[in-house]
Every structure is written in structure tokens, then in C-alpha cells.
Structure 1
Amino acid sequence: MASEHLTEDLLLLTRLLRPSRHTDMTQQQYWLLRHLRCSAPQSISTLAQALGITTGSATVACQRLEKAGLITRKRQEQDERVVHVSLTEQGRQQIDAVRQQRREALTHLLEVLDESEQQELQRLVERLLDAAEVQGLGEIKKHDSHH
């Protein structure tokens, strides 16, 4: 089926563009840092829920990122069970650098398409993103250029 082939090609394309190909960062760490870059400091449980991972996984990832100096964790004074996570300046710089590398790689890849093909691809991608949003497949932030 054509849709099966398209699905496999899209999965291959996403693997080619994933952050771990260009850095020592895991995908989970990338998305955690990216989420923190786009939002205010959050509790580990809120962060885990936003990323669709367990609180335990989020805690382990945060511990590693804190050791690397990319985030800070601080217990809430009113309830010491709650730990808030925030991005450090080093974390901000690293996530921005990785996102810029990904943008450049994708921009280079898109150069094989002429302007009309790029416009058509844009239209189709927007339809897919709209459908994903309607189906509740995740938070979609279109035109998220600086976060």
C-alpha cells in the first residue's frame, strides 16, 4: 500500500532528523530541555505528564541533566516532595544550539525541492499538524521560532 510506504518513509525521515544524531543528548533529554525552554520552571510530575513519561523516568533524566549543568532542581519549601526543575543558562544555550543544528539540517534537506514543492509540502504538513491537534496527539506549537 502507498500509505504504508509513506508511513515508513516519514518514520525514516524523523529518525534522520532526531537530535541524538547530532549530539550526545538522548531524545528524551532533548524533549525535556526543549519543553523547559518553552515553558516556566515545572515540577517533575508536571514535566513527566507533559512529555508522556513516568515520574521516575523524568527524575532520572533530570538527575543526569543536573549533573551536566543543564538544569537545576529545587525542592519546594511548602511541600518538600515537590521538586521544581528549571533550565540553566548553559542548558538554554545547548538546547538552542541543537535546535539550530536541526533547523540547518532540515533547511539543507529542503533545498532539493523547488519553491512550489516546498509550498505544497508546507500545506500538507500544516494539514497533518492540524489533524494531530484535533486528535489530541500532543501539544503542537506552530511557528515556534524562538523557543
Structure 2
Amino acid sequence: MSTEQQKSQAILSLMDTMAAVQHKSQVFIERINKNETLSQNQLMLLFQLQLAGSLKITEIAERFVVTPGAASSMCDKLEEAGLIQRVRTNEDRRVVNIEITGEGTRRILQLFDRFETAELHKFTDTLHQINSLMNEITS
């Protein structure tokens, strides 16, 4: 096999593996999000807000690699559902922080109720390993 053919084969193999990893990631999130009406991005935004406390629209846009308009639209839907709220800062009324509500937190915790603690630990351990491996190829 020529060098060019080897490189083409390596590229195809990489593309196939990337697609498989993305698919498995979606399947895992769907398993957590079972019987829920939230999209995967909405669910991940709730997770991000739960962890960060609050985020600005620009920070959400950066984390999700979308435009600020798309991030604002995603927030609109969650706000309508009572899962997040927009809070203006006292220092600068133009600055709006997005925060998770008590209902948003309750909804997240409810998603994980059906899993045993040992299973949650297994998920976490596995995802830590995946994250470490991903760091190797992204740095």
C-alpha cells in the first residue's frame, strides 16, 4: 500500500471512530434524558448552569460554539419552562446573568433518580477516563 493510500485509510478510520464516539455520546445523554422533553443542548446548558452558578449569554455561546442569538433562543425556551431565569446585575443593568431556578435543579436531580449511586460512580469514572484521553488529542 502506498503512503498516500495509508494516509487515506488512516483518515477514514479516524472519521469512522469520531462518528462512533459522537453517536455513543448522544446515546448516553439520551439514556439520562429518557422521557424528558429537553433537547440535549438544553440539558447540557442546565448542567453547565448548575455547575457554574450563572453564565452570561456570551459565555453560553462560547461553550456551545453557537452565536449569542442562538444561545439566547435556547435560554428563552428554558426560561418559558421555568427552569432558568435572567438576572440583571446591580453593578451594570445591561449585564444579564442566566441562572438555574429551583425547578431547574429539581428537574436535573430527577433525571438521575433512577440510577443507583454505584452506577453514577461508574459513569463518572468512565467519563473521567474519556476526558483524560480526549485531553491528549486536543492539546
**TM-score, length basis structure 1:** 0.64
Q: Relative to structure 1, is the Cα distance of residues 80 and 100 closer, same or farther in structure 2, using a 3 angstrom cutoff?
A: same
Cα distance, 1:10–1:46 mapped onto 2, change above 3 Å: closer
Q: Within the alignment, does 1:73 sit opposite 2:71 as a pair?
A: no
Say yes or no: does 1:87 pair with 2:100: yes
Give the unaligned 5+ runs of structure 1. 111-120, 138-147
* Higher gyration radius (CA): 2
**Partners of 2:15 and 2:54 in 1: CA distance:** 40
| Structure whose residues are more often helix by fraction | 2
Displacement of 1:134: 4.0
Q: Does 1:12 align with 2:23?
A: yes
* 1:132 correspondence with 2:124: no
Q: Match of 2:90, SS?
A: coil
- Matched to 1:129, the amino acid is N
| SS in structure 2 of the partner of residue 18 of structure 1 | helix
SS at match of 2:72: helix
Q: Deviations over 1:52-74 (max 9, x none)?
A: 22211111111111111101101
Match of 1:35 in 2: 48
C-alpha separation between the residues in 1 aligned to 2:56 and 2:96? 5
Paired residues, what number?
120
Q: Give CA-to-partner distance per residue, 1:94-121, whole Å, 9 cap, x none.
A: 12222455x57xx5xx9xxxxxxxxxx9
RMSD: 3.1
Partner of 1:62: 75
Q: Which runs of 5+ in 2 are unaligned?
A: 1-8
Counterpart Cα distance in 2 of 1:129 and 1:96: 23
Partner of 2:3: none
- Could you say if the C-alpha distance between residues 3 and 77 of structure 1 is closer, same or farther in structure 2, counting changes exceeding 3 Å? closer
Following the alignment from structure 1 to structure 2, what is the Cα–Cα distance between the partners of residues 6 and 47? 28
Distance across 2 between alignment mates of 1:49 and 1:7: 22
Following superposition, the deviation at residue 32 of structure 1 comes to: 0.6
Matched, 1:45 2:58: yes
Cα distance, 1:76–1:136 mapped onto 2, change above 3 Å: farther
